């Protein structure tokens, strides 16, 4: 394992898959398939992680110390004991927060320049 002492901001911007996984783990521990389902549910099916993308990202996050395998399981009786559950670490939470802050700044700039989806495009205004 490496990279645990590094500043998470060094890794920004995060890939969409990494940010989606961090968001999925923000409130509860999940196993791989549950992460995939949560991302799909939250994005209305727009984002679908394949097994390769999911576990490549999970591997990177484990290596950076942003997530770790959870010691306990949500409900052992209701689940397959061979599944690994993943938990967001404090470092991972800081990384996700930093990325969200970066995106917020980007959105603020976009709004200032009239690129917000809520605003009517300038060309359309001119034509109307």
Partner 1 sequence: MAPLQEPHGRALSGSERIYGALLAAYPKEFRRAHGREMAQVFRCMCHEEVVSGGRGGLTRLWVRTLLDLLATALAERTKKALGRRMLVGSSSKLVRGGGLAAAAGGVLLIAYGVLSWIIAARLYGEMNDLGGVKLGPQASLRLIQEVGYLLFIGDSRAWSDCWSAPDGPDRGRPDRRPVASV
16 makes contact with partner 1 (CB under 8 A): no
Of 19 and 86, the one with the shorter C-beta distance to partner 1 is 86
Q: How many CA atoms lie within 13 A of 93 on its CB side?
A: 7
Q: Does 41 bind partner 1 (CB under 8 A)?
A: no
59 binding partner 1? (CB under 8 A): yes
Q: What is the DSSP letter of 9?
A: G
Stretch that binds partner 1, among 4-12, 81-89, 101-109, 113-121 (CB under 8 A): 81-89
Across 46-111, where does the E strand assignment appear? Answer: 67-69, 85-88
Considering only residues 51, 74, 114, 121, which one is a binding residue for partner 1 as defined by CB under 8 A?
A: 51
Q: How far is the CB of 50 from partner 1 (least distance, A)?
A: 3
According to CB under 8 A, which one of 4, 9, 41, 83 is a site residue for partner 1? 83
Tokens matching residue 51: 């097994």
CB neighbourhood size of 68 (10 A)? 17
- Between CA 20 and CA 38 the distance in angstroms is 9
Tokens of 39: 């991302």
Site of interaction with partner 1 (CB under 8 A) = 32-33, 36, 48, 50-56, 58-59, 80, 82-84
């Amino acid at each position: 394992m490496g990279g645990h002492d590094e500043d998470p901001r060094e890794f920004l911007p995060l890939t969409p898959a990494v940010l989606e996984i961090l968001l999925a783990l923000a409130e509860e521990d999940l196993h791989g398939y549950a992460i995939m389902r949560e991302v799909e549910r939250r994005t209305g099916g727009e984002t679908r992680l394949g097994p390769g993308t999911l576990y490549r990202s999970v591997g990177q996050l484990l290596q950076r110390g942003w997530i770790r395998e959870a010691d306990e399981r949500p409900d052992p009786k209701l689940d397959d004991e061979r599944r690994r559950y993943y938990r967001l670490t404090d470092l991972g939470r800081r990384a996700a927060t930093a990325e969200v802050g970066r995106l917020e700044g980007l959105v603020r700039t976009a709004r200032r320049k009239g690129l917000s989806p809520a605003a009517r495009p300038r060309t359309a205004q001119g034509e109307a």
